Structure 1
Amino acid sequence: MDENIKILIVDDDEVDRMAVRRALQKGSLNITLCEAENSAAALEKLFSTPNNQNFDVILLDYYLPDSNGLNLIEQINELNLSIPLIVLTGQGDEEIAVEIMKAGAADYLSKSRVSPQSLIQTISSAIRINRAEKAAKLANQRLRATNELLMQKNRELKLQQQQIQLQNIQLQEASRLKSEFLATMSHELRTPMNAIMGFSQLLLRQYPDPLSEQQLNIVGRIFNNSQNLLEMINELLDFSKIEAGKFELNFREFDLDKLVCLTVEELRSLAVQKKIELKTDINLNNPTVFQDYSCLKRILINLLSNAIKFTNQGGVRVKVWEFESENKIAIAVEDTGIGIEKDNFKRIFEAFRQADQSISRAHTGTGLGLAITDSLTKMLQGTITLESEVGVGSVFCVKIPRKAYV
């Protein structure tokens, strides 16, 4: 040990103190020595303000004029002083030394065997053990503090988890109520809307009486707006069914070529009104697929309607082809429309979201078309991707298995 070691010798025998002092002086330790003749003097040197020292070790004679070593050890222990005590015993006092060590002494050494080597070795060992015990005690205290902190954090985390679970339950209930409301509202609105469209069609046929040109124009607007509103209602109804997990699939065999051509012809009037081209490019060795007919048709209608809506010049093309040894089918809807910014690629597939969310947007709608398309594509065990450039156009590509796994 290179540091200075502060030692307190407590012994009423001057000769014994001198022997210890000489042994320490001959040793290799760098020491500061302090002496006391009895327990009272030792306590005074330990705790009085002028002589208050932080001793590294105490060498203690068992027999003292005013007390014994055992009493002094008990007093020091009561004061919670963590200083190693080495008991200096006389000839034949080994049993007493053992009792003192049980009371808290670090070691004992017979006065008759005091030598520089034995004394230095005993002191060094006692100091190392004491410091190790202090370090272990401090580590345990820190560990307990850490454990208490972790337990507190764990309790807080459990409380947060309970709150999150409660919020999730509330959100699920709110979502369920919302879906039920949308389904009920959509269903209830379809009946009067169908009636409005039916009466409008009768009037457009000029039944029972002919209408003026202005009246025909007004009724035509009523019918067109009613048709648009019915499409929105149908989208809400479909979305609520999908969200509630009540959208039923009906897988069967059908001719994909015919489905695509039929859907394109149904929407051709929209392209004619905007004076844009609507073409198909179907390249199938085997047009037969095993999928949900209505679901796939709805996907085509949504993608084609969007493409026509956002294309003012040029045209829209539907491409269909096979890949992966004809086990999968790809359907791409290409347009030369306004295009979509990359930042909006993911957003447009979210429910009630459009690339343009402003009130003054040029194109109306519920913002559910692509969300429904994405959900339906996943239900058909497929994927949908988007490539687009602003001012150039967009390509939505749906890839599905030729045969769905039921």
Structure 2
Amino acid sequence: MDPIALKAEFPILHQDINGHPLVYLDNAATTQKPRAVIEAIRKYYEWDNANVHRGVHTLGSRATDAYEGAREKVARFLNAASTREIIFTRGTTASLNLVATGYARNWLREGDEIVITPMEHHSNLIPWQQAAKAAGATLKYIPLQPDGTVTLADVEQTVTERTKIVAITYVSNVLGTINPIAEIAKIAHNKGAIIVVDGAQATPHLKVDVRALDVDFYAFSGHKMLAATGIGALYGKAQLLERMEPVEFGGEMIDFVDLYDANWKELPWKFEGGTPIIAGAVSLGAAIDFLEQVGLAQIDAHEKKLTRYALERLSAIDGITIYGPRGERAGLVTFNLGDVHPHDVATVLDTEGIAVRAGHHCCQPLMRWLNVSATARASFYLYNTEQDVDRLADALVKTKEFFGYEPVR
């Protein structure tokens, strides 16, 4: 895999920011789009634009083929048993809310338990808070180790026979922690619970096999894996999706309607009311083609090598605090520079043409666990290089000098 050659496929990366070549290190928030994805969106709107499933005309048929073809690609990409198990949504947040509303609120009872972790993104926290409140259920947390990991012993202790749902991120968007999902799924199932996985930070980087992991629900977003914004998917085991009720009602998701009642289409369409995100699905299919051509194993290896290099370079800078495990971790580094506010760090980096994320990263409980209000985060993808890391490290030294920061000895 040649990241420099791959970078040539991304038009947006070839520009100057504040007089410097752009170094884009905000990939955990959203990734840039290759020409193949941009072209797929353009082609759809120029040649195939029509509503799906409804019309019998040629444009409608072509649009339907493109939309359902993208579903087939997602099913293959995740190794789902059937396209019936793939629901198109607006993204991870919408997918998790669909499970929390369509499944949890119908099946949870007072006294039941939902188990999550303090590292969860708000999208995998607030829906469960609301579901627990609605049902009178209890929200429980698997404790974190000092390095931001969880142990299977703590999972065993936290998940009980009263636990109905375990909801956990595959990869932390702050710590880079990679959770042992298959082992956690086994513990959950042994206790009679289902497992819901936030795959937003894993799907773009790791080869995901939902059947090997034995997860019950798996959510991800397209815009974090080269596709357009506003498209994502929910994988769910067919037997669980059959038990769920839709949460949006209207056109497309119905089978029969009379004046006082209605019934629903079969899977997956009963959860896709209204005109779907057709162009987004087309872009997701094109993104999957691109990623499979590069190879998920190659992407994973490249990012981990880059992360090790970044940890080495940043750790050598006096005053830098790095968060998360130092061993096996995903392709991001979250840090603070002494008492300089992360927003100030990110602003100075931007003057050097370097884009990083700063803030609480939609993980306020995790920030409190880290005893900080915010952090800066550099996150890598297939088009980043060691030279990008060098630019980041050099710019952080300049940032330290700019603010006159000297670490306490």
Q: What is the TM-score of this pair, normalised by structure 2?
A: 0.22
Instruction: Give the TM-score taking structure 1 as reference length.
Output: 0.23
Greater Rg by CA:
1
Question: Which structure carries more helix by proportion?
Answer: 1
